[in-house]
Chains A and B, each alone.
Chain A
Amino acid sequence: MLDERYLSVQDVMRMLNELLEVEYPQVLFTGEISQLTVAQSGHIYFTVKDAKAQVSCALWAGVARSSKCRPKVGMTVKCRGRPSLYGQTGRFQIIVNQIVEDGEGELQRRFIELKEKLEREGLFAVERKRALPFLPRGIGIVTSRTGAVIHDIMVKLRERFPSVPVYLSDTRVQGEGVAREIAGAIKRAESSGYVDVIIVARGGGSLEDLWQFNEEDVVRAVFACSKPVISGVGHEVDVTLCDLVADVRAPTPTAAAEMVVPQRTELVQRVNDFERRLIDIDKWFQPLVQIVDDSSARLQSRFKGVCQEYRLRVHAATSSLAKIQPRTVLELLRLKLGGFERELRVMVQRRCLNLEQVTSVCQARLIQSFGLDDLTLMGRMAQTLHDRLERAITRRFEVKNQALGNLSGRLEAISPKAVLKRGYGLVSKGGEYISSSKGVWEGDSITITMRDGVLTAEVNDCHQMEGQGND
């Protein structure tokens, strides 16, 4: 017991007062006034009670004078005050700094009056409520930057749809004359041009705390706003005029955040579903594309084969022409060449016809296997290949014709007629051309073909030159 310290009563009272000051700087309470004394000084001492307890209160003269409420016994009041211990009497009391009559109090009366007035003007009409955008490109939030409300809203928005930009239009949300500030914040959010929807929000509180949201300035600003407005003021039980005029009323600020954006994951699901259906369509295309590719490859290889065949034929014709003796009559050559040309033309025409048939058979099979009326894509491809074949063959002809022309020129140059032009004569005996004096005797009749005519002559003499003619 020696170690224990004993405080003076004064110290105990001071210590308890300090404790009260720190822990309960202010209390709000409601009850009925049961006793009341007005002191000479003007201070008012009274007791507030309910069914189970009572508390002593002091209302200083200054506060009493500035208050609209005139407390009297039996009145139900709402008080705000500071708990304290009064040292001189050891009494616990609450120093009241705000007192209002409950029930049909001043605020209630004003609320009802303003509500009726604005209702008559049609501000709360259901017909003018606008739908919220499905996914806003920007969200404006009218609230205090320091409160828990903006934090709660941001948490909810990030949970639901984090990529929508959020713009805070900072304003105080409580206190005399703040309504104009709130109205200004609504206009600022609206005119920023960034937002598709506006949330007006405030956390829970007493009727008085929320009162600014019942002021005409706020109600008219919401009404005039060109963007849809969600009101999330107080708790679900608190209904403000701001709630009534807004396009949508949310029971709480967090609920407002839930209403303003869709759940991202749900939308991702929907987009994924559509994408899967699109990919299915792609799969459906694939066999078709495959068939078109195959057909085109088959057509191409066929055309290649045909071209190769023609090339060989023309080549063969050229080499057999080269083998033909220059002595062979030019007419025969021309005749043969003409025949080749005709044959080639007929062949090409026949081949083309054949290929057209093949193409149409392929087309018919494609149409049959797919039941599609329109295979324009494949048709176009086949047409292109057909055109290319025709061009290639035409070009090939031109080249060969030219080659044949050259060949004819060369043949002309070595033709016997050309030799005759130079003054030589062709000698024939008995209808056969001769190139030797052997076998020709005196008195034989020979024919000499000249450039421009035929001479018939008789051999007068016959000499054979030494070393010649024995070849």
Chain B
Amino acid sequence: MTISLESIMNGEVGIEQIQELRFEEALELLESVVSSVESGNLPLDQSIGAYEKGTELVGHLRALLSKAEEKLRVLGEDA
């Protein structure tokens, strides 16, 4: 599942959708969001919305980058 920059900017993307993104997708999206807000071409309310989504993307990426160590699991013969 991928999310377009337009749908982010139009406020159509919920946090649940963001949390399903793969790392590289979320990172790419964050880059576009930050760049487009930085360009200064967005209306104020869209900028604020994009800023909020940017913060959510950072949170999701942080979760993926957690330091928590995963244990090695052994797949059963019939798994």
Interface residues of A (CB under 8 A from B): 133-135, 137, 140, 145, 150, 154, 158, 162-170, 188-189, 192, 194, 264, 267-268, 270-271, 274-275, 277-278, 280-282, 285, 288, 372, 374-377
Contact = CB atoms under 8 A, between A and B. Distances in A.
Contacts of B22: 133-135, 137
A170 B24 CA distance: 30
A277 B68 contact: no
The 9 A-B pairs with the shortest beta carbon distances in the complex, nearest first, are A134-B24, A135-B23, A162-B69, A165-B70, A374-B43, A271-B61, A278-B54, A168-B74, A275-B58
Contacts of A140: 75
A167 B67 contact: no
Given A192-B79, A282-B51, A163 B72 contact: no
B73 A165 contact: yes
B58 A188 contact: no
A158 B69 contact: yes
A166 B75 contact: no
20 contacts: A137-B22, A140-B75, A154-B72, A162-B70, A163-B66, A163-B69, A165-B70, A167-B73, A170-B75, A188-B75, A188-B77, A192-B75, A267-B27, A271-B30, A271-B58, A271-B61, A274-B34, A277-B38, A278-B55, A281-B54
Contacts of A270: 27
A340 B23 CA distance: 72
Contact of B44 (A158, A167, A277, A376): A376
Contacts of B75: 140, 167-170, 188-189, 192, 194
A135 B23 CA distance: 7
A277 B72 CA distance: 37
A161 B30 CA distance: 21
Contacts of A133: 22
Interface residues of B, number: 33
A288 B67 contact: no
- A150, A167, A271 — most chain B CB neighbours (10 Å): A271
A100 to B, nearest CB: 34
Contact of B68 (A163, A170, A282, A376): A163
B50 to A, nearest CB: 9
A164 B30 contact: no
A162 B30 contact: no
**Secondary structure call for the B interface:** helix
Contacts of A372: 44
Interface in B22-48: 22-24, 27, 30-31, 34, 37-38, 43-45, 47-48
B65 interface: yes
Given A188-B79, A285-B48, A135 B64 contact: yes
Contacts of B61: 267, 271
B46 to A, nearest CB: 9
Interface of B: 22-24, 27, 30-31, 34, 37-38, 43-45, 47-48, 51, 54-55, 58, 61-62, 64-70, 72-75, 77, 79
B73 A264 contact: no
A131 B60 CA distance: 24
A165 to B, nearest CB: 5
Nearest to A372: B44
Contacts of B48: 285
Contacts of B62: 271
A163 B66 CA distance: 6
B58 A264 contact: no
B70 A166 contact: yes
Nearest to B58: A275
Contacts of B31: 274
In this complex, the member of B22, B31, B55, B70 whose beta carbon has the largest number of chain A beta carbons within 10 angstroms is B70
Contacts of A163: 64-70
A158 B73 CA distance: 14
Contact of A274 (B30, B45, B47, B72): B30
Given A165-B70, A274-B31, A278-B55, 18 more contacts: A133-B22, A134-B22, A135-B23, A162-B70, A163-B68, A165-B73, A264-B65, A264-B67, A267-B27, A267-B61, A271-B27, A271-B62, A271-B65, A278-B37, A278-B54, A278-B58, A281-B34, A281-B37
B58 to A, nearest CB: 5
B79 A288 contact: no
Contacts of B73: 165-168
A278 B65 contact: no
B45 A278 contact: no
Contact of A288 (B30, B44, B66, B68): B44
Contacts of A194: 75
A288 B72 CA distance: 52
Nearest to B76: A188
Contacts of B43: 374, 376
Contacts of B34: 274, 277-278, 281
